[in-house]
A and B are shown apart, each in its own frame.
Chain A
Amino acid sequence: MGYLTDSLLTAIELIIGFDVEVRMTAWTSLYTSSCAIVLASLLGVPIGLWLGISLFRGRRLLITLLNTLMALPTVVVGLLLFGLFSRQGPLGSFGLLFTPMAMIAGQMVLATPIVANYVLAAVAGADDRIINTALTLGATRLQAALQLLREIRFGVMAAVIAGFGRVIAEVGVAMMLGGNIRGTTRTMTTAIALETSKGEFAFGLALGLVLLGVALLVNLGLNQVQQR
């Protein structure tokens, strides 16, 4: 019991004291996940919108595929991109493996289906008169789609927040593509996994608390948005 309370006290001390290691890993996590979610949104929002409003053969199949991708195991994404980025891989010459760039790419792959699915659900739940109303007022199909997006903006925000929650908390991609290099690719999750096994329990606990705090903020945000 003493071990746990001592560790907790040390952890709180580390957080309050703005410990350099804690700050650095927290920053790396937030930075890579933010970049990843921006890119995933740029890709996932149009995909969800397009799947939601167009009618074509194979649409249902694509939606099923997107649902499957939502449950993509992080280590599988890590594995596939590892193959792409490793020296012998097709993108090996860019030297991206074990850089923040590789982590961002992996997390983007993870978050895009989530963002797209949430947007798709928001489009499905939207009033089906929106597109036609915009068209009758003289909008092009693209302008009508953008107006629809404006009408479901809270659903889109929820999509982005849910995607962010997924990538900030994942460990597989960050570990396999980032490699837990101190100062560049060490994120909160990889640091917790590896530092704890090295016996730095208090340090892991401090990061765990920060991560929980971020998760709490994300969910508070999601709650706020979904109540609108």
Chain B
Amino acid sequence: MFAAIRAPSRRKELFFGVCLMATVMEMHNVQLHRGAFCLRVKQLSLASGYLYALEGENGAGKSTLLQLLALLQPPQCGSLIFDGLPVSFMPSSLQGLRRQITLLEQNPYLFSGSVRQNLAFGLKLRGVHGSEQRQRIADALAACGLQGFAHRPARELSGGESRRVALARALALQPKLLLLDEPTANLDAGQVAGLERLLVSLPQQGITVVIATHDARQPERLGGETITLSNGELKTGIFDGKRDYRPLNQIRSCSQLL
């Protein structure tokens, strides 16, 4: 049964994914204190292969929730379940989990060296070398419209270019869960549309995407489920795992299937 779910065929995976509502990440009664701020999440489950928009005012705790989802910060209490297994915040077990989750910060940092070296960093850590590494770097650069950027010095790129490199760096890792902190802030309208098109296509590749946004209309454009944070408290997004909350693009791909 398990083997069937994990079969390489995308069709099967989609089919079983819909039936079983496999979750990539669940949270139960989680609290994270950071100074005077407290993030409280009673329950949250992110189904695998879906897109979520995380909205809330400035200071509502969007970035903190993303850090928590990226397993960068252990919560003071509550439990996290990643891919069906409880997360223990022991460094030894955390390592393997963190390699399946990638967080793209609002102001991403690019390492000195070339764009290529930036993309290769995470791949090397995962033991991806040689032709596969080259292929994944080329694919990620192409997806972000960065053909020909491989040998450019990363620290000398413009703001918009460096954010696209950071996104390509995250995509090259093919994470199960991709977290983006306001990826479209300070981009012009054309760039926003291009980026949104790319983001919406990711769930079809089996990547669960969470996008923090302060743009009230973005969740609607992305067509995913909306998680709302207010004063550190999760308002909506208490999903019981039975409701059919497939984002539009997912439904489309499923209808082609059935």
* A interface list, Cβ under 8 A from B: 127, 129-130, 132-141, 143, 147, 150-151
Residue picked from B72, B107, B112, B126, most chain A C-beta under 10 Å: B112
* B contacts with A, residue count (CB < 8 A): 23
B122 within 8 A of A: yes
Cβ–Cβ < 8 Å partners of A147 in chain B: 111, 121
A140/B91 contact (C-beta < 8 A), A129-B105, A132-B105, A147-B121 known? yes
- Please, which residues of chain A bring their CB within 8 A of the CB of B99? 138
Contact B108 A133 (CB under 8 A): yes
Which residues of A lie under 8 Å from residue B98 when comparing CB positions? 135-136, 138
Beta-carbon contact of A140 and B105 below 8 Å: no
B95 within 8 A of A: yes
| Contact yes or no, B125 A136, CB < 8 A | no
Answer yes or no: B116 CB below 8 A from chain A CBs: no
- Nearest B residue (CB) for A134: B121
Q: Scoring B residues 62 to 88 as 1 if CB is less than 8 Å from chain A, else 0, what string do you get?
A: 000000001010000000000000000
| CB of A44 to closest CB in B, whole Å | 23
Interface centre among B70, B99, B102, B122, by most chain A C-beta atoms within 10 angstroms, is B122
CB pair B70–A136 under 8 Å, yes or no, is: yes
- What are 18 inter-chain pairs, A to B, with CB distance below 8 A? A129-B105, A129-B107, A129-B108, A130-B111, A132-B72, A133-B105, A134-B121, A136-B70, A136-B72, A137-B170, A138-B95, A138-B122, A138-B126, A139-B122, A141-B91, A143-B125, A147-B111, A147-B121
Once the chains bind, are A129 and B109 in contact (CB under 8 Å)?
yes
Interface: B115 (CB within 8 A):
no
